[in-house]
Amino acid sequence: MKKIKIRNPIVEIDGDEMARVMWGWIKEILILPFVDVELIYFDYHIQNRDRTDNQILTEAAEAVKKYRVGAKCAAINPDQQRVEEFGLKKAWKSPNSGTRNQIGGTLFRQPIVFNNIPRLIPGWRRPIVVARHAYGGMYGGRDMTVPGNGAVELRFVPNGNIPLQREIIHEFKGPGAALGIFNTEESVRGFAMSCLNFGLERGYPVYLGTKNTELAHYDGLFKNSFADVYETKFRKDFEAQGIVYEHRMVDDLAAFAVKSEGGFVWACKNYDGDILSDLVAAGFGSLGLMTSMLLTPDGKTVLTEAAHGTVTRHFREHLAGKKTSTNPIATLFAWTRALYYRGLFDDTPKVQRFASALEQACTETVEAGSMTKDLAMLTGSSSWLTTKEFLQAIASVVDNKIAELA
């Protein structure tokens, strides 16, 4: 069989524990037998990060920026316990946020939905993609305890020839607390670009939720920036695809989301996104089915990964020589999404078709009743495949699809 040639390289970032084991198996069973691809390899194994004083993070991020498509395996975020376990020099900063911050962009969390896997919210038949603006808001805020009588005010002190502005937040008659948060137009517009680019690429409508009735200036910055970016750069393409962008009150949007059948991008301010990404993940039910993708504002650089961690408990069983039934689907989709975007950027539709065929093969396998333990338990079944058997089951379906691709 002739392999599908991938024109430009993909940056591969390897990781730790069970996720790393699955990563290798996916490559061996479902990727390399079918495609001819140059992989620019970086190893985030905890001991390699330690050996390079975390420098490997910067090198990998630079490579993702250069080649524009990367796929990342889950990696340990070391705490003190891990420092002792591996004899590390120190608890290095997170490999995940470390890499994301160097690339920039917006994180999209997207669940994978199968007809036969029940969801906690059964009405969610299509994915809800949560896009979290990972900048500013509560996370860059300053807060203070107010000791007693007095006023707290917000002041803008200009560097230049514009007027000073001040606004009393509250006249305190007794103790309390106050908070100052910020955002920048540049970051919010970049967020809008990422969200609208994602919606356009996936054919999903995009909804932004804010409370601009309360915060006319702060939430207004989000509402107005999105509206402007949409009108000037996206409306035509959205209308051509029959999808919409809308601003909604965040509470209305929350109620709408629960009653909806899914199938949209939910653009969230930072704190909203923190809460809602976990809420939506729980509603869809399984960690092994949640993918995550970083997309830059121009829509031209992506880093894909599974949302779950390294699945340490299963790895310990694996080390003890037991066969585990860890779900490789989110990790497989990190690969397929990377291939899909590689095909999009290279203008090689055949590569995109292969990526979709692989995802389709995975869906058909699960919907035919072959699955790992976590999913079997959700369906109430007591029979399941090991991780490797499951990957092999997908491979046999891919074999049949490959011929139709040409």
Q: Where on the chain is the footprint of ligand NAP (CB under 6 A)?
A: 74-77, 96, 287-288, 305, 308-313, 326-327, 374
What are 106's strand-pairing partners?
A: 295
Residue 223 C-beta: closest distance to ligand NAP, Å: 31
Tokens read off for 27: 């490559």
C-beta closer to Mg ion: residue 134 or 338: 134
Q: How far apart are CA 345 and CA 226, in angstroms?
A: 25
Q: Residue 62, interface with Mg ion (CB under 5 A)?
A: no
Return the sign of the alpha-carbon dihedral for residues 69, 73, 78, 83: negative
Amino acid at the residue 269: K
CA distance 245 to 117: 30
CB of 74 to ligand NAP, least distance (A): 4
Q: How far is the CB of 156 from ligand NAP (least distance, A)?
A: 38
Size of the site for Mg ion (CB under 5 A): 2
- Least separation, in Å, of the C-beta of 374 and ligand NAP? 4
Among 117, 42, 92, 82, residue whose Cα is nearest residue 284: 117
CA–CA distance from 62 to each of 58, 102, 406 (Å)?
6, 8, 34
SS3 readout for 15-39: CCHHHHHHHHHHHHHHHCCCEECCE
Closest of 126, 127, 112 to residue 288, by C-alpha: 112
Residue number with CB closer to ligand NAP (273 or 288): 288
In the complex, the smallest distance separating the C-beta of residue 287 from ligand NAP, rounded to whole angstroms, is 4
Whose Cβ is closer to Mg ion: residue 20's or residue 100's?
A: 100
> Which x/- pattern over 235-274 shows residues binding Mg ion (rule: CB under 5 A)?
---------------------------------------x
Instruction: Please state, as a whole number, how many other Cβ atoms lie within 10 Å of the Cβ of residue 106.
Output: 26
Alpha helices in 27-94 (DSSP H): 46-51, 55-67, 80-86
Residue 77 or 270: which CB sits closer to ligand NAP? 77
Give me the least distance between CB of 132 and Mg ion, in Å please. 9
Report which secondary-structure segment, H or E, holds 292. strand 290-295
Distance (Å, whole) CA 86 – CA 200: 44
Return the one option of Mg ion, ligand NAP, none that residue 274 interacts with (CB less than 5 to 8 A, by type). Mg ion
Distance, C-alpha 120 to centroid of its chain: 21
Residue 196 or 332 having the CB closest to ligand NAP: 332
CB-wise, 274 or 346, nearer to Mg ion? 274
187 contact choice in ligand NAP, Mg ion, none (CB below 5 to 8 Å, kind-dependent): none
Residue 77 interaction partner, one of Mg ion, ligand NAP, none, beta carbon < 5-8 Å per kind? ligand NAP
- If you ran DSSP here, which 8-state letter would residue 252 be given? H
Q: How far is the CB of 310 from Mg ion (least distance, A)?
A: 18
CB closest to ligand NAP, residue no: 309
The binder of 312, among Mg ion, ligand NAP, none, by C-beta within 5 to 8 A per type, is: ligand NAP
Which residues of the chain form contacts with Mg ion (CB under 5 A)? 274, 278
